């Protein structure tokens, strides 16, 4: 635990974190990049989830929908993590005290787990139902859980700014 604390305070006291904290333009600029990246992450994931739930793109196979979108999701996710990390180091101690920030990271982990379980377990026999408009329950469950988890991530992200301890 001490090791993690040392790493976090090392970055929080870095020249980079100082610049983000002190410069009037840097934080809003990085947060804007964060918002655009998360729009692409959540938007692209919801497009796949709506297919899994049978609400959209039902005339396209699941594998075609995911193959067309997932590369964008991963690139946008990398940008979201990088920009989020820069915002985080600018005020790391206070963010770690913020329940919404911690909850957001936990929910991102759960959303990732849901995705892994879907791809490695639920979608193992996808060839059998890939082009169906109404998919097996486990595929619809994965889509529904994903929608709930990502909306919760965005809500927690939004609430961080309203609940940060000042001073
Ligand atoms: C893809 C996953 C992510 C999503 C969907 C997400 C979502 C959000 C949202 C909706 C906001 C509020 C933006 C605003 O309204 O201005 C936000 C802010 C923020 N996020 Fe993320 N985020 C993600 C990943 C991360 C990661 C990995 C970190 C850090 C390690 C992070 C750190 C932050 C910080 C520090 C803020 C600024 C809060 C503030 O002071 O206003 N985010 N995020």
Tens of pLDDT along the chain (167 residues)? 788 889 999 999 999 999 999 999 999 999 999 999 999 999 999 999 999 999 999 999 999 999 999 999 999 999 999 999 999 999 999 999 999 999 999 999 999 999 999 989 888 899 888 888 899 999 999 999 999 999 999 999 999 989 987 66
Four-point Cα dihedral 62, 67, 73, 76, nearest 10: -160
Q: Are 153 and 104 in contact (CB under 8 A)?
A: yes
Kindly state the helix (H) or strand (E) to which residue 153 belongs, with its residue range. Answer: helix 137-163
CA of 67 to the centre of ligand 1 (A): 26
Cα 10 from Cα 7, distance rounded (Å):
5
Is residue 123 helix, strand or coil?
coil
CA of 111 to the centre of ligand 1 (A): 15
The answer to whether the CB of 85 is under 6 A from ligand 1 is yes
Q: Is the dihedral of CA 84, 93, 164, 15 positive or negative?
A: negative
CA of 54 to the centre of ligand 1 (A): 29
Burial of 31 per CB tally in 10 Å (0-12, 13-18, 19+) = middle
Task: Check residue 1 and give its pLDDT.
Answer: 77
Task: Check residue 167 and give its pLDDT.
Answer: 63
CA of 65 to the centre of ligand 1 (A): 27
SS3 per-residue string spanning 47-70: HHHHHHCCCCCCCCCHHHHHHHHH
Cα 108 from Cα 17, distance rounded (Å):
24
Which residue puts its alpha carbon closest to atom 11 of ligand 1?
157
Question: Which atom of ligand 1 is closest in space to residue 81's alpha carbon?
Answer: 27
The answer to whether the CB of 52 is under 6 A from ligand 1 is no
The answer to whether the CB of 31 is under 6 A from ligand 1 is yes
Q: Is the model's pTM score more than 0.85?
A: yes
Quickly count helices (H) and strands (E) in the chain.
8, 0
The answer to whether the CB of 62 is under 6 A from ligand 1 is no
Cα 157 from Cα 37, distance rounded (Å):
13
Q: Which two tokens stand for residue 152?
A: 């919760």
């Amino acid at each position: 635990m001490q090791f993690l604390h040392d790493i976090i305070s090392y970055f929080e006291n870095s020249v980079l974190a100082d610049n983000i904290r002190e410069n009037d333009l840097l934080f809003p600029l990085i947060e804007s990049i964060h918002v655009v990246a998360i729009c692409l992450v959540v938007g692209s994931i919801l497009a796949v989830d709506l297919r899994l739930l049978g609400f959209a793109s039902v005339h396209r196979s699941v594998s075609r929908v995911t193959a067309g979108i997932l590369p964008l999701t991963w690139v946008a996710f990398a940008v979201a993590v990088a920009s989020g990390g820069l915002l985080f180091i600018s005020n790391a101690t206070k963010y770690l005290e913020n329940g919404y920030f911690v909850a957001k990271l936990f929910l991102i982990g759960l959303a990732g787990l849901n995705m892994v379980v879907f791809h490695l377990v639920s979608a193992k026999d996808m060839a059998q139902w890939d082009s169906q408009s109404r998919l097996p329950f486990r595929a619809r469950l994965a889509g529904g859980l994903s929608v709930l988890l990502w909306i919760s991530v965005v809500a927690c992200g939004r609430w961080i700014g309203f609940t940060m301890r000042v001073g």
